[in-house]
Amino acid sequence: MSQSSRQSTNQARSLIVTLAPWLFVLLWSTGFIGARLGLPYIEPFTFLAIRFVIAASLLTLLALLLRTPWPHGIAALGRIGVAGLLLHAGYLGGVFFAIDHGMPAGVSALVVSLQPILTAVIAQVILGERIGTRQWLGLGLGLLGVVMVISEKLAFGGAIPLITASSMVGVSIALFSTTLGTIYQKRHGEQMPLLSGTALQYVAAALIMAPLSLFTESRQIAWTPQLLFALAWLVLVLSLGAILLLLLLLRFNSTARVASLFYLVPPSTAIQAYLIFGEALGPLALLGLIVASVGVALVVIQRN
């Protein structure tokens, strides 16, 4: 390879590395909008069971066409299953349940964006990683910002949907699942074949969502254009595009660096929710978003 060709390849690779995190944030934030768009016509666990089955089928077909290797051994399959349950079933199940029970898409995104804070705390307790004063200040501001947003939602009704206890339980499950799933995937998923391994993760998630749908929901579906669009978007853009991008980012970056990207999701989701659904945030919530963003900056700057 000539020097000019090598330089062009390096430049292209550098551009991809630079753009990948921003593309991930943009794609990931649309997941909350897709859930909000489709859930009026289908129950959350039924929605996810269908989504996981389609995503697993498409990835399996792609893996077979490209002749990618498949994981072998009970231990490897077990690790893939655990990651799938946390990253997909626990996380998405909690988010969809919360939104279906009235939590605005922007608020659910904001609560789940506490993942980097939770990751830092777990890393200190379990892994012995030191958290400096600047980081602790950022953690506190991030929590304060979320409390301000949620307080406004709890205090004022009217056109703004109230946050219920059940929706808070759902989004809390999502928060802990995505935190533990990200850490687990980073520690145990480095050697996982990307396409076939992700397909098996969706199989594991579907095996949880299907019984939940069967025993807790009516499974009544209104096949409207909005639902079909939401399902296609969530499968192709989120379950395939964004998830594969997340796994690639985890493979080549530290867990903390990847987790910090979730701080950028709430502003993106809030803008989209405002433009599409008119989900406005009041003065206290907007101030909370600013406070949380300052906290985010302190944590990220310290880590970088």
What residue segments make up the domains of the chain, in order of their start?
40-132+161-264
Question: In degrees to the nearest 10, what's the CA dihedral of 140, 141, 142, 147?
Answer: 90
Asked whether the predicted pLDDT for residue 176 surpasses 50, the reply is yes
Q: CA–CA separation, 112 vs 262, rounded Å?
A: 8
Angle at 165 between CA 32 and CA 179, to 5 degrees: 50
Lowest-confidence pick of 115-124, 174-183, 188-197: 115-124
Asked whether the predicted pLDDT for residue 101 surpasses 60, the reply is yes
Q: 10-27: per-residue pLDDT in tens?
A: 555 565 566 777 788 888
Q: What is the pLDDT of residue 152?
A: 64
Mean pLDDT to the nearest integer, 129-153: 71
Q: Report percent pLDDT > 90 for the chain.
A: 33
Mean pLDDT to the nearest integer, 200-209: 96
Q: Which residue type sits at 71?
A: P
- Confidence category of residue 55, pLDDT binned at 50, 70, 90: very high
Q: What is the pLDDT of residue 282?
A: 73
